[in-house]
Amino acid sequence: MSFVDAGGVSDLLHLTIDVDKDWQLKGISNIKEVVLGMTKGDIVYHDGTRLVKLSPGAIGTELKTKGPGHAPVWSYPDILP
């Protein structure tokens, strides 16, 4: 995997993003706010406009999607084992 103009960085693990930089609508707009509010178990997804934090669901729930264009949701399984 390679990154364009990433200063020789070869993978995402070593990529540093300046969250205070004015990215001029290049898709990076609210990383700092999302990251500062994260806790263990949170995940991040793109809602079509910006990055959104999704906190862990209740015990026994699973993460589901309703297909392209819809946000993931936590819900209880349809059939319990």
Closest by CA position to 54, among listed 6, 64, 26: 64
> Which of the residue ranges 17-26, 30-39, 61-70 would you say has the lowest mean pLDDT?
17-26
Helices (H), 1-81: 31-36
Residue 80 counted as domain residue: no
Which range scores top for mean pLDDT: 3-7, 18-22, 62-66?
62-66
Q: Which amino acid is at 18?
A: D
The SS3 of residue 2 is coil
**Residue numbers of the domain that contains 48:** 12-75
Residue predicted with more confidence, 1 or 30: 30
Query: CA geometry: angle at 48 spanning 45 and 52, to 5°?
Result: 35
Overall domain count for the chain:
1
d(Cα 74, Cα 57) in Å, to the nearest integer? 5
Residue 37 counted as domain residue: yes
Residue 22 counted as domain residue: yes
Residue 3 counted as domain residue: no
Q: CA 55: distance to chain centroid?
A: 11
